[in-house]
Structure 1
Amino acid sequence: MRVIAFHNLKGGVGKTAAAVNTAYLASQAGISTLLWDLDPQGAASWLLSDDEEPDARKLGQLVKGKSPIGSFIRSTPFPKLDLIPAHHSFRNIDIKLDDADNDRMLKQWLKPLSEETSLVVLDCPPSLSRLAEQILRTADGIFVPLIPTWLSLNSWEQLTAFAKDRKIKTNRLHPFFSMVDRRKALHRDLVANKDLHLPEGMHTTIPNASAIERMGEERLPVEQVSRRSAAAGAYRDLWSEIQGMIWR
């Protein structure tokens, strides 16, 4: 089983869209995939689930070992794609992790899934926190969407500094440009000069596109919304690049 995460300490950078589309494409490739929506805002859950009722099970039951992780899993409309939806109790996850005093708890939670799940995709809340530290320790690859601006590049430096401060290797952190608007000179310049400004960056860039915005309207992955769009092609490229990194 492989575990990947989409993370950024900033919100509004296209993290959830990347997580949902990657999970969908993995499932369409025949890979048994689980998307865990760790963000209490629940955007990924809303996009993939028709169930409007909140899950009665709370994170505390998982932390205390009273509920196995499998009891939190729901199906989605898409074959081979399951979901652990967000819950309002997730806002207290850092407190729970501190109380448990276990820096491998996330890894322990995921371990029982390995028999039936080939890929776990974590959609992470924007933060530098105890949960973020556990994600960095657990995931085989952490994929970091960055809008091509100087502030966003600074957030990347903050994330790598956070990892180094906690003695976590940074070679599993993979930034990529997201929400790229080629009408903007700064976006064009930073993308064109990626090797200078973001030498660790992935090859794929995700455009700022109406097809991605329509995900919220239709509650579907971009591949279902507009398969021939540039955005759909970009997510296919992103998934291909991720595969090459985590299964090499």
Structure 2
Amino acid sequence: MITIAVANQKGGVGKTTTAINIATALAAIGWKVLLVDLDPQGNASTGIGISAPDRTASSYDVLLDQVPIADCVHATKIPGLDLIPATVDLSGAEVELVGEEDRAHRLRNALAAHKGHDIVMIDCPPSLGLLTLNALGAANTLLVPLQCEFFALEGLSQLLQTVERVQQRFNPDLSILGVALTMFDRRNRLTDLVSDDVRSCLGNLVFETVIPRNVRLSEAPSHGLPALVYDHNCPGSRAYMALARELITRLPAMRKAA
């Protein structure tokens, strides 16, 4: 089982959209995928069609009550894709966990005892707090969505520093699967400049596929569907399918390592 954390401490970069649609694409090729919503806002849960009243067991229960993951899994409308939803209770998890000795390893311990899925994708909150540390501590690898704007570059450097600290203290096997450029607008000169800067700094770590700004990507969550299901022919969906194909080519080495 390979665990991929989708993280960026800056909000609004397309992190949840990326997690939902990559998870859907992987499920579409026959893999059994578990999406873990670790964001108290619960956007991944809403975007995959699990309403708040239906979230009877959640990632909060996994972290705080140490409920087995299998007891918190919800089936979704997407064949092969399961979800552990998030509830508002998760917003207090960092405070409640602060006194626990294993506070940074709760998710890793839970996943170590879980079987039944090929891929686990963790949608992290837009911060570098204890929830994200749990995700990075549990993950084999990290997928970083990066919005093509100047401030995103500053956030990326902070995230890379955090990854180094996590590798040193919690998870020496954590690697970076890649950086995905999102909200790409070729009409905007700044987009090209940011893209060039990121590629010059990180080289092949940056995926060739870029995710364009696309209205259909924004509409899909309101229908409780991934964009790949809502409109699989829109530019955003085609881009995510291409990104998933590119991501899969990087996974065999990860599968062997896992």
- Counterpart of 1:218 in structure 2 is 223
What amino acid does structure 2 have at the position aligned with 1:74?
H
What amino acid does structure 2 have at the position aligned with 1:213?
S
How far the C-alpha of 1:239 sits from its partner, in A, is 1.1
RMSD of aligned Cα (Å): 2.2
1:175 maps to 2:187: no
- Cα distance change, pair 9–52 in 1 and its aligned pair in 2 (3 A): closer
What amino acid does structure 2 have at the position aligned with 1:14?
G
Identify the structure with the greater strand proportion: 2
Mapped to 2, the partners of 1:61 and 1:229 lie a distance apart of 37
TM-score (norm 2): 0.87
- Counterpart of 2:41 in structure 1 is 41
- Counterpart of 1:209 in structure 2 is 214
TM-score (norm 1): 0.90
Q: Is the 8 A contact 1:63 1:96 kept in 2?
A: no
- Counterpart of 2:97 in structure 1 is 97
Residue deviations 1:18-77 (CA, integer Å, cap 9, x gap): 000011111111111111111111111112125441534466653465632211111111
Residue deviations 1:164-208 (CA, integer Å, cap 9, x gap): 234266742522211112221100222245432543322221111
- Counterpart of 2:109 in structure 1 is 108
Mean alpha-carbon deviation: is it higher for 216-225 or for 72-81?
216-225
Mapped to 2, the partners of 1:108 and 1:66 lie a distance apart of 9
Mapped to 1, the partners of 2:196 and 2:66 lie a distance apart of 51
1:25 maps to 2:25: yes
1:240 maps to 2:209: no
Q: Is the 8 A contact 2:37 2:59 kept in 1?
A: no
What amino acid does structure 2 have at the position aligned with 1:85?
P
What secondary structure is seen at the aligned counterpart in 1 of 2:83? strand
Mapped to 2, the partners of 1:92 and 1:239 lie a distance apart of 33
What secondary structure is seen at the aligned counterpart in 2 of 1:113? coil
What secondary structure is seen at the aligned counterpart in 1 of 2:206? coil
- Cα distance change, pair 156–173 in 1 and its aligned pair in 2 (3 A): farther
Mapped to 2, the partners of 1:101 and 1:242 lie a distance apart of 35
Identity %: 28
What amino acid does structure 2 have at the position aligned with 1:224?
V
Q: Is the 8 A contact 1:176 1:204 kept in 2?
A: yes
Mapped to 2, the partners of 1:2 and 1:37 lie a distance apart of 16
Q: How many residues align?
A: 247
1:134 maps to 2:134: yes
Mapped to 1, the partners of 2:233 and 2:55 lie a distance apart of 36
Q: Is the 8 A contact 1:59 1:89 kept in 2?
A: no
What amino acid does structure 2 have at the position aligned with 1:218?
H
Point out where structure 1 has 5 or more consecutive residues left out of the alignment: none
